[in-house]
Amino acid sequence: MTGSRVVALGHYQPARVLTNEDLAAMVDTTDEWILSRVGIKTRHIAGPEEPVDELAFQAAGKALAGAGLTPDDIDLVLVATSTAIDRSPNMAARVAAKLGMGGGPAVMDINVVCSGFTHALATADHAIRAGSATRALVIGADKMTEITDWTDRTTCVLTGDGAGAAVVEASEEPGIGPVLWGSVPEMGNAVRIEGTPPVFAQEGQSVYRWTTSQLPPLARKVCEKAGITPADLAAVVLHQANLRIIEPLAAKIGAVNAVVARDVVDSGNTSAASIPMALSKLVQRGEIVSGAPVLLFGFGGNLSYAGQVIRCP
């Protein structure tokens, strides 16, 4: 049985930036109120010409370039998203077409909302270990602003748009650790994207209590499954939901020597895009050395979670 590893990353964000001052002109809020409650300063907003598959395509192209591969080298495309344009063709098929993939890759979307990327990364790892794929393109992409209620100050201050991508390939030395995943189905309504047209809503206090109380032991168990301790981690990349969730959760995990991703400050909550985008930026800035252990842990919609320790590309 072979393992798999992440060999390259890429990310993309739209050019338009929405500041807290901009939001204060739209709803009853202030920069101070937003910073004190969620820690977000800015977020990127995609226009009508940038649908979800375009965001995903841009990030994917950067990841492929970083890996020194062509689109035809990929035989599995996974797109984690909860803001797909249509039911069919799915976003993975659209991205494969935009990239000009001629090798007939398998194409699948995975909708586990904010933990979608870590679910998709585990799925790619499993497919490669089983011999069903040799190289996978794993993308997290969401256009959250398209499902945002801009009159609701509790949610509109959170959301942003973007995409992050990883190239995963077979490896004799496993670089992606065992996944720990699960959910709390009876609390699934705490985070919702419902209606026609669909709108994002959540029960903020319930989500905050769940993440800060229930997730730290689960994150430590991810490290245990990978055969390391939290103190061994070089970086912690959590779903970028809210700085008031990220900082307490990172502290409770016990990763005392780790860089903690805080991309939420500049990007807002980008759902499935948040982990690969934050990780790609840390690597691009040279804040994590190649081969170092990194905890990825997604959580949120459905009150689902998924995490694994990977080796930095």
239 is catalytic: yes
Catalytic-labelled residue, pool 20, 90, 242, 269: 269
Quote the CA–CA distance of 18 and 93 in Å, as a whole number: 30
Catalytic-labelled residue, pool 114, 156, 223, 312: 114
Q: Is 80 left (phi over 0), alpha (psi -120 to 50) or beta?
A: beta
119 is catalytic: no
Catalytic-labelled residue, pool 239, 242, 302, 312: 239
What's the Cα-to-Cα distance from 260 to each of 131, 229, 234, rounded to whole Å? 34, 16, 9
Beta-strand relationship, 16-19 and 42-45: antiparallel
114 is catalytic: yes
Tokens of 233: 């981690």
Question: Which among 61, 87, 305 is positioned nearest to 167, based on CA atoms?
Answer: 61
Tokens of 32: 């101070």
Q: Identify the three-state secondary structure at position 251.
A: helix
Partners of residue 311 on adjacent β-strands: 293
8 Å CB contact between 145 and 45 = yes
- Hey, which residues are catalytic here? 114, 239, 269
